[in-house]
Structure 1
Amino acid sequence: MRVLIAVTHLLGAGHLTRAAALARAFAAAGHDVVLASGGMPAPLVRLDRVRLVQLPPLRVRGTAFSELRAADGGPAGAALLDRRRSMLLAALEEAAPDVLITELFPFGRRALAGEFLALVEAARAGAPRPLVLASIRDILVAPEKPGRVAEAHARVAALYDGVLVHADPGLAPLDASWPVDAGLAVRLHYTGYVDEGGAVPTASDRAGILVSAGSSAAGLGMLAAAAEAARRRPDLGWRILAGHGVPEADLSALAAGLPPGTVERARPDYRALLARAALAVSQCGYNTAVDLLATGTPALLVPFEAGRETEQRLRAERFAERGLARVVPEAGLDADALLRAVAEAPRAPLPPHGLALDGAGRTVALVEAMVRNGVGATLPPVLPPPSAGGGGSALDRLRAALDRHAETRPPTPVWWRDDDAVAATPALDRLLALSDACAAPILLAAIPAGIAPSLGRRLDGAPGARLAVHGLAHANHAPAGEKPAEFGPHRPLAALASDAREGLRRARESLPEDALLPVFVPPWNRLAPDLAAALPDLGYAGLSAAVPRRAPLPTAGLVRADIHIDPIDWRGTRSLADPARLVEDLVARLAAGDPVGILTHHLAHDDRLWAVLEALLPLLLGHPAVTVLDPRHLFARPPVDAGAAPWSRPGARPS
């Protein structure tokens, strides 16, 4: 692929550092990458195999981000901004990218909206046009004026194919700092944190205190407090790193009266120094936070908060809530306060945090999949015309069928199940965002033996998530040559019952109690009749599968609700089934008037399939022809006989 990334950093170099890390990851995967940078050059940022287009640089004084200044400190005039815009458009024309990524915009850099909009609109006018993505960090600073949030959302909806959120939602979901509405939620792709620092060196012994404050002069007050603390307690082994944005005079003042080497400029081996330190004292910018997570170094965090900045404070508080650091307020910080905090700080390495730090690689894989599956301007219609008969697109046909149904019949009950949940992942985030956007509760069938701690944390408080027991380990016990089954008639009833009982016990231990339903979902939707009869005695109140009606299961004491529509072509591509046929099946079931169960598998979805679901499900589940059933209410209904229950109709291919 050809990739163009546009970034302008105005204060520190964090935005450029992260954008460069992504650029290097794309280049390392064999792609042709151009990085257009509009901030001041940063000497420690690496650009291996990446072509740099340096725009006339801009900067700001303090936190006055709306008052752009040229490299010499003077106001950025119209001629300079025109030159930048022309260079960006020339870079676009020369690169002819398959993928265009704008860093922070349209969520920030409003003062540069003219050049970013010119770039994106020119890209969208191309034929074929590139995939257009926004790239943002974990925590944003939301504008005080609500209209600006709405403006950003409108630009995403009109101009962007997706938003790359370089975060682990287990630590900092985007809605912790930025309002996320339904339209934005379905465009978010969590990648994990972008770790650009390289391998973590092994350190047998940790010693000393490492102080750092990013690349700008914004942390000068913290550095001054640390320098004075080092003069008072040199025995603690201080090393103070000042960014290249700190003026020489200030650097000399910091070093006065301290041994040589105590105060120096930021170094490229910062991570190695951090891995050997017993304690870190730092601000809490994105890249510093990732370095701390990677090295496991105990930390005192002094978040930058000038000019109504909230980003670092929110991130530091998230660290503190997880026991990963302690927060020291920037206001009033002096040597005495710092020494008190140092005396109280822990020295043991951080406990395992389980947060995703492979965001660069995940970003490359995600974008490759988007391009491979045709997301963007080269994408065919999401729902093409039906293969036979009918007029207009398949989506139009579904809408027309829903409209007719609403005029002549009562609403059709529809419910939604998703299988194979095991951990908090970007795919699960996307599923839950789609569920929220549709205002449709979803039954997540979780595999008890595979449940990671992150799943319970992610679902705790997720308003639309209901949980069921998906067997025990999703292990195939069928003999060779037979269809796979974990709870089929291939093992003694005692073994089946033991595993089903164990699955419910593990689910109750690992998942939020208020969301877990005692509903059994057999893997591959295959279940031995004698186990079905035994489920009530094992603690289950419900059963959900897709069993042919010719072999009804005993359901006395159980509420039975099956699925009917599965959009995956399991026997062929294992990707999206024929979308026109998918819509035809839905229309036929609506015409029959019977309840409909929808099945998805978030871990198996590629972006083509996501695109179809994100177009189809909001239409279906938001239409007055449909009543969306909450699994809590569905499985609380009085038990019915499987042979007569509309919920027991045969359906999609087993999961």
Structure 2
Amino acid sequence: MRVLIAVTHLLGAGHLTRAAALARAFAKAGHEVTLISGGSAIPLSATDGISLVQLPPVKTRDTDFRTLLDEEGQPINKRGLADRRDLLLKTLHAARPDVVITELFPFGRRVLASEFDALIEEARQQSPRPLIVCSIRDILVAPTKPDRIAEAHTRLVRDYDAVLVHGDPALVPLEASWPVDDRTRPLLHYTGYVDENGTTLPEAERDGIIVSGGSSAASLPLYRTSIEAAWLVADRAWRILIGPGVEDADFLSLRALAPSHVSVERARSDFRALLSRAALSVSQAGYNTVVDILRAGVRPVFVPFEAGHETEQRLRAERLKEIGLAEIVPEDALSPEHLANAIRSSLARPAPDAPAVSLDGAKRSVAIVENLVLSTPALHRAVNWSTLTDALDGAKDEGCALGFWWRDDDAVAHTPELDRLLDLVGRYEAGLALAAIPHALTPSLALRLAGEDRVFALVHGSRHTNHAPPSEKKAEFGDHRPVDVMAHEAGEALRTARMSLGEKLLPVFVPPWNRISPSLGPLLSREGYRALSTFTDRKTLCPAPDLVQINTHVDPIDWHGSRSVLEPAQILTALSEAISRRFTGAADRNEPIGILTHHLVHDEAIWIFCERLLAYFAARNIHFLRIDELFRNPDRITVGP
């Protein structure tokens, strides 16, 4: 496979370290890998077999993740952002990947959403389309605003095929930090913690205390407090490892303050070996540090980074404390005395047993992606929406306002499939017309619809019985019975459905199989009907001058083949043609375009496509019209920008 991984680290180097580990794992498995880094240029080890592309770097100061700075520490300008985007897309076209992996986005990096969106949109238009995957650590920091969470979920459902969660749910499930819902849960694949170096370290006598703080300068308070705490715990040798993000002046100052039993050094490549020989580790609770600690089996004292309302490290530390592995000194309570007490307490306890946590995340990630590429049909991959986008833009250019509505056929009862359908209605603020079979109705349907203000029922024939001979297409109300008999039966169906569904029923006739005798249409109004709905552009149907026609035009099911979903390109072409007929004059430009579904026969592929279509429309501020309003105002059109 050709794999492209895009990552931008803004504060420390943890995100880049994990992305590079994935890149090396893919390369080791024989795949071509392009790693695009958008953060500060940091030397990476062992990049053989990896094409490394450095974008014009950006970074942040402290925890101000909304302000992007360039290499000189100045706010990056539009030209710099454009250069990043251009190089990003140029790399995509050169690599032509089978898999695109975005690190953290769309769960985070909202400040860089425009360039990530451009990457994904461009990837979706490639042929064949690559698998699109998100890579995240075990714990996230969820936005405080619900609309931002909803925005991330919309992007995931619309654009992504999978989410690699680099953690172990036995320790920390993603739900502990992010509100996973029924839409996003099927996308999640837990990989275990990403640890390339699975080599078992030799047993060694443990002594001394190791202090580490990652790559950024955010650990300066921890380094300074550790030096003061070392005066209080003087019976152990201390080694304080200073990350590359700490300026030389600060490094020399720390070294000058250290007592004789404390060694102050720059971070070392043999960090894990040092941990394996240490009696205790003092550190923050960053992802990579915790993986090192778990692999080395050393007792940890954590001082989680919590500035700027960060909660990730505190949650990870608390989970490890719950299983008896760690001591915690909160950042706001950090003092030499508190740190020294936590160290003494940890050293006084028996060494904890190694937790049963999966640490083969890099290798497992490769296996998951390989399996997805082999097993995921084109439908489940990111859909190329360009045909539909062009049609919508064409209508807008021609001043043709568009409306869309949704009809679902064959409802009879409250079922799990109906629950799933109505869940989509609620989440995407969609109107729904539910064509219900009158003589098959159960009381449970009315009870389920009672609280659904966007959903109304229509009359779907009488018993959904085929009266056509075997040589003809199925029809309940075709040219196979006397028209007066069919008119009376349609009237009885309306009265039966109204008794069951009450005000939730609209007097709209939906003939089963969308077939109706031309002679029946004019008789429906005398039976109490006010509208008719089939499957065609209106004005091409049977004469029914007293009836409003509210028709459907696109059905995503392959009824004559797989009975699963049609190829997305076919569905989007049908939608696009329905749109173009309205602004070219080939159809009534005021007629809303109807989507037809059948919830009781949907397989997972059909559900997936339906939700992606809803998410696509929602992203353009287009919501399916309410059938009760459309029924009373058949030419009412609303459309998003």
Q: TM-score, normalised by structure 2?
A: 0.60
The alignment status of 1:206 with 2:213, answered yes or no, reads: no
Separation in 2, partners of 1:376, 1:358: 29
Query: What is the match of residue 244 of structure 2?
Result: 244
Amino acid at match of 1:133: V
Query: What is the match of residue 279 of structure 2?
Result: 278
Judging changes above 3 Å, is the alpha-carbon distance between structure 1 residues 178 and 301 closer, same or farther for their aligned structure 2 residues? same
Separation in 2, partners of 1:140, 1:30: 31
Judging changes above 3 Å, is the alpha-carbon distance between structure 1 residues 283 and 375 closer, same or farther for their aligned structure 2 residues? farther
Gaps of 5+ in 2: 384-405, 425-560, 566-601, 611-641
Amino acid at match of 1:17: T
Query: What is the match of residue 318 of structure 1?
Result: 319
**Do the aligned partners of 1:131 and 1:375 also contact (CA within 8 Å) in 2?**
no
Q: CA deviation at 1:186?
A: 1.3
Query: What is the match of residue 32 of structure 2?
Result: 32
Q: CA deviation at 1:259?
A: 3.9
What whole-Å deviation, never above 9, does each CA across 1:395-416 have from its counterpart, x for those lacking one? xxxx99x943x34xx66899xx
Separation in 2, partners of 1:229, 1:200: 32
Larger radius of gyration: 2
What whole-Å deviation, never above 9, does each CA across 1:381-425 have from its counterpart, x for those lacking one? 9xxxxxxxxxxxxxxxxx99x943x34xx66899xxxxxxxxxxx
Judging changes above 3 Å, is the alpha-carbon distance between structure 1 residues 232 and 326 closer, same or farther for their aligned structure 2 residues? closer
Trace 1:553-572 onto structure 2 (pairs within 5 A).
none
Amino acid at match of 1:158: R
Separation in 2, partners of 1:300, 1:216: 19
Separation in 2, partners of 1:212, 1:50: 29
Separation in 2, partners of 1:60, 1:250: 20
Separation in 2, partners of 1:276, 1:91: 43
Q: CA deviation at 1:76?
A: 0.8
The alignment status of 1:190 with 2:202, answered yes or no, reads: no
Query: What is the match of residue 355 of structure 1?
Result: 357
**Do the aligned partners of 1:102 and 1:135 also contact (CA within 8 Å) in 2?**
yes
Judging changes above 3 Å, is the alpha-carbon distance between structure 1 residues 375 and 226 closer, same or farther for their aligned structure 2 residues? farther
Query: What is the match of residue 151 of structure 1?
Result: 151
Gaps of 5+ in 1: 382-398, 415-432, 438-578, 584-611, 621-655
Query: What is the match of residue 294 of structure 1?
Result: 295
What whole-Å deviation, never above 9, does each CA across 1:342-377 have from its counterpart, x for those lacking one? 111146443132111111111101100111123456
- Per the alignment, in what secondary structure is the counterpart of residue 143 of structure 2? coil
Query: What is the match of residue 75 of structure 1?
Result: 75
Q: CA deviation at 1:229?
A: 2.2
**Do the aligned partners of 1:132 and 1:376 also contact (CA within 8 Å) in 2?**
no
What whole-Å deviation, never above 9, does each CA across 1:324-353 have from its counterpart, x for those lacking one? 211111113122221111111146443132
Judging changes above 3 Å, is the alpha-carbon distance between structure 1 residues 147 and 378 closer, same or farther for their aligned structure 2 residues? closer
**Do the aligned partners of 2:230 and 2:340 also contact (CA within 8 Å) in 1?**
no
Q: CA deviation at 1:44?
A: 5.3
Separation in 2, partners of 1:16, 1:582: 41
Query: What is the match of residue 398 of structure 2?
Result: none
- How many residues align structurally? 415
Separation in 2, partners of 1:170, 1:613: 31
The alignment status of 1:267 with 2:279, answered yes or no, reads: no
Q: CA deviation at 1:43?
A: 3.2
**Do the aligned partners of 2:101 and 2:135 also contact (CA within 8 Å) in 1?**
yes
Judging changes above 3 Å, is the alpha-carbon distance between structure 1 residues 127 and 239 closer, same or farther for their aligned structure 2 residues? same
- Per the alignment, in what secondary structure is the counterpart of residue 362 of structure 1? helix
After TM superposition, which residue ranges in structure 1, 4 or more long, deviate above 6 angstroms?
Answer: 378-381, 411-414, 616-620
Separation in 2, partners of 1:226, 1:380: 50
Amino acid at match of 2:59: R
Amino acid at match of 2:288: N
Q: Percent identity?
A: 55
**Do the aligned partners of 2:227 and 2:262 also contact (CA within 8 Å) in 1?**
no
Separation in 1, partners of 2:240, 2:38: 29
- Per the alignment, in what secondary structure is the counterpart of residue 372 of structure 1? helix
The alignment status of 1:91 with 2:118, answered yes or no, reads: no
**Do the aligned partners of 1:161 and 1:375 also contact (CA within 8 Å) in 2?**
no
Separation in 1, partners of 2:96, 2:251: 44
What whole-Å deviation, never above 9, does each CA across 1:290-310 have from its counterpart, x for those lacking one? 111112111101000001111
Q: TM-score, normalised by structure 1?
A: 0.59
Q: CA deviation at 1:182?
A: 1.1
Judging changes above 3 Å, is the alpha-carbon distance between structure 1 residues 197 and 287 closer, same or farther for their aligned structure 2 residues? farther
Judging changes above 3 Å, is the alpha-carbon distance between structure 1 residues 613 and 140 closer, same or farther for their aligned structure 2 residues? farther
Separation in 2, partners of 1:107, 1:619: 22
Query: What is the match of residue 371 of structure 2?
Result: 369
**Do the aligned partners of 1:241 and 1:263 also contact (CA within 8 Å) in 2?**
yes
Quote the RMSD (CA, aligned, Å).
3.1
Amino acid at match of 1:242: I
- Per the alignment, in what secondary structure is the counterpart of residue 115 of structure 2? helix
Amino acid at match of 1:350: P
**Do the aligned partners of 2:129 and 2:381 also contact (CA within 8 Å) in 1?**
no
Query: What is the match of residue 50 of structure 1?
Result: 50
Query: What is the match of residue 111 of structure 1?
Result: 111
Judging changes above 3 Å, is the alpha-carbon distance between structure 1 residues 267 and 306 closer, same or farther for their aligned structure 2 residues? same
Separation in 1, partners of 2:208, 2:381: 55
Amino acid at match of 2:367: A
Judging changes above 3 Å, is the alpha-carbon distance between structure 1 residues 378 and 176 closer, same or farther for their aligned structure 2 residues? closer
**Do the aligned partners of 2:196 and 2:360 also contact (CA within 8 Å) in 1?**
no
